[in-house]
Structure 1
Amino acid sequence: MDIQALKLDLVAKILKTEKSSLLIHIAKLLEKENDQDWWDQLPEEVQQSIRDGIEDASKGRTYSHDQVVREAKQKYGF
Structure 2
Amino acid sequence: MDIQALKLDLVTKILKTEKSSLLIQIEKLFEKENDQDWWDQLPDEVQQSILEGVENIKQREMYSHDQIVREAKQKYGF
State the TM-score, normalizing by the size of structure 2: 0.90
Which residue is equivalent to 1:52? 52
Which residue is equivalent to 2:41? 41
Which residue is equivalent to 1:20? 20
Paired with 1:43 and 1:25, the residues of 2 have a C-alpha distance of 33
Structure 1 residue identity aligned to 2:66 = D
1:77 Cα shift?
A: 2.5
The CA deviation string for residues 19-49 of structure 1, in whole angstroms up to 9 with x for no partner, is 1111001111111122111111111111111
Structure 1 residue identity aligned to 2:53 = G
Displacement over 4 Å in runs of 4+: none
Question: CA RMSD for the aligned pairs?
Answer: 1.1
State the TM-score, normalizing by the size of structure 1: 0.90
Which residue is equivalent to 1:66? 66
1:63 Cα shift?
A: 0.5
1:76 Cα shift?
A: 2.6
Identity, in percent, stands at 79
**Runs (5+) with no aligned partner, structure 2:** none
